[in-house]
Structures are given as structure tokens and as C-alpha cells.
Amino acid sequence: MAEAERIIGTPETPDAAGDGQERPGEDAAPAGRAGSEGAPAAGTDRTPPAAAAAGPDGAAERPRGKRRIAVLFAVAAFAYALDLISKLIVVAKLEHHPPIEIIGDWLRFEAIRNAGAAFGFGEAFTVIFTVIAAAVIVVIARLARKLYSLPWAIALGLLLGGALGNLTDRIFRAPGVFEGAVVDFIAPKHFAVFNLADSAIVCGGILIVLLSFKGLDPDGTVHKD
């Protein structure tokens, strides 16, 4: 019997058939491990770090668009021109003349020289107010470099035009350079006399406060506290 089996040969078993040969599936596992260590396998979704840093809505990116410097200077030039022309007319036609009643006793035009700040406050600090006005102009010029918001451009333009209007009076009007008296002429009842430059400064300041409450920055970004 043993001799017959030696001559005919014994049938190969699965274990025996696999000796020295590659078994199906043995190369699949290493390939899968290589894929996990190298490039991501098909079907996986990985977000690049740069995209993740930017956020789903791109909130981390700076706002894009044209700067609003032209709007700022256009508004400033308009406010300054109105103030300058109105003061020239008041000095030529109204100074040393009786006041002109516009709405009865509630509103009238009356030429007054004001050595103080807006609305007649602080007449003893003319030089200080002149320096403050000059500093405001410098600050606005520096902010213009990163200005992308249209509302901020309008607000800063009003401030700039008003500050330039009153600063012109401080420099060129009597009694002397940096001590000149500002020409005021708008006189509401039971209120201080002011001019168009003062109005522009107040309107620009109110607009800046509103924009700050809304969380809008000069560079166009919006933040929430």
C-alpha cells in the first residue's frame, strides 16, 4: 500500500498547495497599509490645512475690493468747500449787520467769532484745539491706508472736512496764526452758535459710533463681541 501510494502520488491538500506559492489576498493587506501611510485612499475626504484655516465661509480671509480713499477725500472736499464758501458769505454779508431770522426766533443767522472749540466751548484753549484738529487730520490720513468700508469712508470724510474747515480759520483768521477765531453763524434758539464744519464733525462722529455698535471696522470686517 505504501509502495502504491509512492508510485501514484498523494493528492495535494490546500495547505500543501500553498507552500512556496502566493496566496490570494496576501498582497491586498500590505497595499492597503501602504495606501493609509501614503496618499489617502479613494473615497476618503481630507480638508487641506489652508482651507480649514480659512473657515467654511472664508471668514479668515481679508475682505477684497477697492479702497474707499477716493470717497473719503470726495466727502471731505465737499464738506470743506461748503464750510469755506458759507463763511466767506457770512463775513462779507452778515458780519457787523443785524441777524437774519430764518424760522422766527427758533433759527437765525448771526455772525460770531468763536475762539473756542465747537459750539463755543473752551475759549481759553484755542491753541490746544488747533493741535487737536491737526492730530485728527493725521490720524484719518493713516486710517485711509486700510479703508475698505464705504460707511467708514463717509464718516471719516465728514470728520476730515470739518476739521480742515475749522483749522483753516485757526490758521488764517485774526488775531493770529494758530489762534484765529472760527466763524460761527447758525444760531438755534436756546442753543450754541455753530457752523457747517461743526455739523460735519458731529455727523461724522455719530456715524462712527453707530458703525462701532454694529461691529463694522474700517477695513470692512465685521466682528461680534
Answer yes or no: 15 catalytic. no
Q: What are 183's three cell numbers?
A: 466763524
The set of long-range contacts for 109-113, using a CB threshold of 8 Å and a minimum separation of 24, is 109/185, 109/186, 109/187, 110/185, 110/187, 110/193, 111/183, 111/184, 111/185, 112/183, 112/184, 112/185, 112/187, 112/193, 113/173, 113/181, 113/182, 113/183, 113/184
User: How many angstroms separate the CA atoms of 87 and 93, rounded?
Assistant: 10
Answer yes or no: 198 catalytic. yes
Q: What are 139's three cell numbers?
A: 490720524
Query: Where does residue 87 rank: exposed (0-12), middle (13-18), buried (19+ CB within 10 A)?
Result: buried
Q: Which of 15, 57, 105, 184 is catalytic?
A: 184
Q: What are 202's three cell numbers?
A: 458731529
Task: Name the packing angle between helices 150-172 and 196-214 (round to 10°).
Answer: 150
> Who's near 161: CB < 8 A, 6+ residues apart?
75, 76, 77, 78, 79, 80, 83, 197, 200
DSSP state of 11: P
Q: Which of 45, 83, 198, 219 is catalytic?
A: 198
Just list the catalytic residues: 184, 198
